Structure 1
Amino acid sequence: MPSAAFEPGSTVVRRDVRDGKVWTAAPHRVLADDGTQLVLVTWPGAAGYALANWIRSLTGGGERARRQAVTELADGEWELGRWIWRDTIVVTWIGLDPDFSLQHYQPIDGSPGHWKINFERPVTRTSTGIDTCDLLLDLITDPAGTWRWKDEAEYDEIRSRGLIPDTEHERVQAARRRALAFAEAGRGPLGEDWTSWRVPADWPLPILPDGALTTHG
């Protein structure tokens, strides 16, 4: 049964949560929601939280910091850092499939954008947004529009460290087949042109609400 829908233009928080502990929290605004399928947008300047070592990997720490972030996630021990989104407008479709979301990344400098299918655990709606857990595996387009897999080694690492049990791995494998068929057929938003879409001029940046890093239950 569909959940109560979020109002268009309202702020919702997308969080990644492992074992009751938040490892990302990012504010978005709602483009559309029918209680089942939810479309969100975030853009440069929106402030949230992410793994501190992942942030370091993007700000001079390189591959070593990125590997450390993956290890910490797998081990369940990490620090968070404040992260300001930059460079791209990101539109996210949730609810097209229970095991992945679809995202369109449009650089604000006018360079070509790309699509990404993001594999994640089934979404849970909260009073302030949605909770899931990114599984670090992606299917993305290159500038020529060809689909390719990304971060398979990182997925294999968190699986080998016990974050993804065999039953969930089997579910992911089935989701990979569905996602590839979805991508190659150009279904849903993939058949639409989002290259010229821009955030409504009267929308202020979404802001994380108080308590965004607290989980319950």
Structure 2
Amino acid sequence: MLTRQRSRPTITAAPRHPSFPAQHHLVNGGLPLPSAAFEPGSTVVRRDVRDGKVWTAAPHRVLADDGTQLVLVTWPGAAGYALANWIRSLTGGGERARRQAVTELADGEWELGRWIWRDTIVVTWIGLDPDFSLQHYQPIDGSPGHWKINFERPVTRTSTGIDTCDLLLDLITDPAGTWRWKDEAEYDEIRSRGLIPDTEHERVQAARRRALAFAEAGRGPLGEDWTSWRVPADWPLPILPDGALTTHG
């Protein structure tokens, strides 16, 4: 992997709101989100939805939104919902519970549990590419952070946030800053069970090539140093609104 000089995030002053980045170069034309932009500092909900059923719901605050690129942040203490067996896998259930969560997602039958985000400040860039988002995870204990490219279905905007469907495939950095693929077996599992048809798989394969080129080039936010960025002390935790688990249509 090439070593690159990283700049500080491009910032714009916003009283009582965090500094936020300017628009970045789009990987694949971006994804216009056709509705009024969310105000910086407002709460939005990012949800994963399959066949009209919510399987994650997490509150975030908006750092920036220009109608094409949406930048969000969440941090420890924010309460949302996730697959109950996925939560169990992180709280003592181990790999067996994680495999069960993947099976339930593929089969379309699951239970949700309350999940309190922990350990890291997560900044998410949506709209750099229609088929993936970019995330920076910064541990609050000061240990090294990492980047993740998250493959997901194209985002749709709702009155309270955004809906997508995580495809369980990631491209992440290890502690040395080298990019590697993660959870390919889980992606293969849900594909074999019919969650990802061949046409969508072809789209994901093309997105993988774009993502790898984007990562290796160190473009956009990847060229900026987010290790020292922190949520302003006067910002309260984002809270899920009523009806966060309800879908329409």
User: In the aligned structure 1, how far is the partner of 2:34 from the partner of 2:204?
Assistant: 24
User: In the aligned structure 1, how far is the partner of 2:34 from the partner of 2:113?
Assistant: 34
Assess if the C-alpha contact under 8 Å between 1:3 and 1:36 holds in 2. no
For residue 2 of structure 1, report the CA deviation from its aligned partner: 4.5
For residue 4 of structure 1, report the CA deviation from its aligned partner: 1.1
User: In the aligned structure 2, how far is the partner of 1:4 from the partner of 1:10?
Assistant: 13
1:171 match: secondary structure: helix
For residue 95 of structure 1, report the CA deviation from its aligned partner: 0.1
Counterpart of 1:123? Answer: 155
User: In the aligned structure 1, how far is the partner of 2:180 from the partner of 2:167?
Assistant: 17
Runs of at least 5 residues in structure 2 that lack an aligned partner in the other structure: 1-32
1:30 match: secondary structure: strand
Assess if the C-alpha contact under 8 Å between 2:172 and 2:182 holds in 1. yes
For residue 117 of structure 1, report the CA deviation from its aligned partner: 0.0
For residue 97 of structure 1, report the CA deviation from its aligned partner: 0.1
Count of residue correspondences: 217
Going by fraction, where is strand more abundant, 1 or 2? 1
Assess if the C-alpha contact under 8 Å between 1:2 and 1:34 holds in 2. no
User: In the aligned structure 2, how far is the partner of 1:209 from the partner of 1:97?
Assistant: 28
Quote the sequence identity (%). Answer: 100
User: In the aligned structure 2, how far is the partner of 1:27 from the partner of 1:14?
Assistant: 6
Q: Which runs of 4+ in 1 moved over 3 A?
A: none
1:53 match: secondary structure: helix
Assess if the C-alpha contact under 8 Å between 1:22 and 1:214 holds in 2. yes
- 1:43 pairs, out of 47, 53, 75, with 75
User: In the aligned structure 1, how far is the partner of 2:217 from the partner of 2:36?
Assistant: 31
Q: Rg: which structure is higher? A: 2
Counterpart of 2:20? Answer: none
Query: How far does the alpha carbon of each residue in 1:21-69 deviate from its partner, in whole angstroms, 9 at most, with x for none?
Result: 0000000000000011000000000000000000000000000000000
RMSD, aligned α-carbons: 0.6
- Greater RCO between the two (CA within 8 Å, min separation 6)? 2
For residue 3 of structure 1, report the CA deviation from its aligned partner: 2.8
Name the TM-score, length of structure 1 as normaliser: 0.99
Assess if the C-alpha contact under 8 Å between 2:34 and 2:157 holds in 1. no
Query: How far does the alpha carbon of each residue in 1:79-115 deviate from its partner, in whole angstroms, 9 at most, with x for none?
Result: 0000000000000000000000000000000000000
For residue 145 of structure 1, report the CA deviation from its aligned partner: 0.6
1:83 match: secondary structure: strand
1:194 match: secondary structure: coil
Counterpart of 1:77? Answer: 109
For residue 201 of structure 1, report the CA deviation from its aligned partner: 1.1
